[in-house]
Amino acid sequence: MPGWIVLAIVLAIGTFIVGRADGATIYGYDLTDATVAFIGFIIAVSVVASLASGVRGGLLRAMRDLAVWSLLMIGVAAGYSYRDELLGLGHRVIGDIAPPGTLIRVEPQAEGERSVRIRRRPDGHFIAKTEINGVSLVMLVDTGASTVVLRPADAQRLGIDPDKLRYNVPVQTANGTTYAASVRLKQFAVGTIVFNDVEALVSKAGALRDSLLGMSFLNRLRSYEFSGEYLTFRI
């Protein structure tokens, strides 16, 4: 495989990692900086290999390769210097093309802030990809629901046996009053936002089409904001 193809693949993978890093570290080093350093190392090795090959192919080829690699390294250095601006642009582009429900990184407005953004579905609703007790669930965001509400099938995926619950909590729905069972969720995460011990209900079979991300989660946020096509959670 030609060296430039390998380099292109490395750059693409590195760009993806940087875009998804979101404050992650590796051996105590910021993942973004570690990834950029690795890409720089790969480029340096490629430069040496290319120049060695160019020397064997003649002075003109060596000078051409040196000029190409110099421009590439300048481009990488400039990209690293403006990485925050480029990452912000990248997140906006991803937000525009990502499927609804995809968690999009948002630049923090204050030090230590954690935030995520999701895009609205064509039907006008917002769905969020959550992780509850280590299990991934897709939930419908519902500010009208006083708590998180789980369908029996989703509760079962979390290790909760719906048949052993007491359905004694009255719940108002579009079809009238029904009853749900009260449970506590050990850990509830939406992207980098994680809460422990979240109050929730389990509905009776057939009462809900989707599990609901309600106010027992939303009220623990510092803020949640609807803006055009997007919903942003901040803590």
Q: Are residues 216 and 112 both part of a single domain?
A: yes
Q: Are residues 51 and 125 both part of a single domain?
A: no
Residue 132 lies in a domain: yes
Q: Are residues 155 and 220 both part of a single domain?
A: yes
Residue 41 lies in a domain: yes
H or E stretch including 198?
strand 193-203
Beta strand pairing call for 212-213 and 135-141? parallel
Q: Spell out the residues 6+ positions from residue 80 whose beta carbon is closer than 8 angstroms to its own.
A: 36
Contact 129, 101 (CB under 8 A): yes
Q: Are residues 48 and 154 both part of a single domain?
A: no
Nearest to 45 by CA among 83, 80, 92, 10: 10
Give the Cα separation of 201 and 211 in Å (integer): 10
Structural domain including 13 reads 3-81
For residue 40, CA distances in Å to 13, 65, 105 come to 13, 17, 25
Which amino acid type is present at position 212? Answer: L
Q: Spell out the residues 6+ positions from residue 16 whose beta carbon is closer than 8 angstroms to its own.
A: none
Residue 136 lies in a domain: yes
Grouping H, G, I as helix, E, B as strand and the rest as coil, residue 213 is: strand
Q: Are residues 65 and 118 both part of a single domain?
A: no
DSSP annotation string for 43-95: HHHHHHHHHHHHHHH-HHHHHHHHHHHHHHHHHHHHHHHTHHHHHHHHHHHHH
User: Across all residues in the chain, what is the average pLDDT?
Assistant: 78
| pLDDT at residue 134, rounded to an integer | 93
Q: Are residues 214 and 104 both part of a single domain?
A: yes
Phi then psi dihedrals of residue 117, to 5 deg: -135, 145
Give the confidence band of 1 by pLDDT, cuts at 50, 70, 90. very low
Residue-wise pLDDT for 134-160, tens only, equals: 999 999 999 999 999 999 999 999 999
CA 167 to the chain's CA centroid: 35
How many independent structural domains does the chain possess? 2
Choose one of 81, 115, 148: the last residue of a domain: 81
Residue 94 lies in a domain: no
Q: Are residues 105 and 206 both part of a single domain?
A: yes
Q: Are residues 117 and 208 both part of a single domain?
A: yes
Which carries the bigger pLDDT value, residue 229 or residue 217?
Answer: 217
Q: Are residues 111 and 46 both part of a single domain?
A: no
Residues shown for the chain: 235
Q: Are residues 176 and 221 both part of a single domain?
A: yes
Q: Domain holding 175: CATH number?
A: 2.40.70.10
| pLDDT at residue 112, rounded to an integer | 81
Q: Are residues 109 and 44 both part of a single domain?
A: no
Give this prediction's pTM.
Answer: 0.63
Which carries the bigger pLDDT value, residue 56 or residue 39?
Answer: 39
Residue 199 β-bridge partners: 184
Residue-wise pLDDT for 185-208, tens only, equals: 999 999 999 999 999 999 999 889
The segment with the largest mean pLDDT, out of 21-35, 53-67, 114-128, 143-157, is 143-157
Q: Are residues 51 and 129 both part of a single domain?
A: no
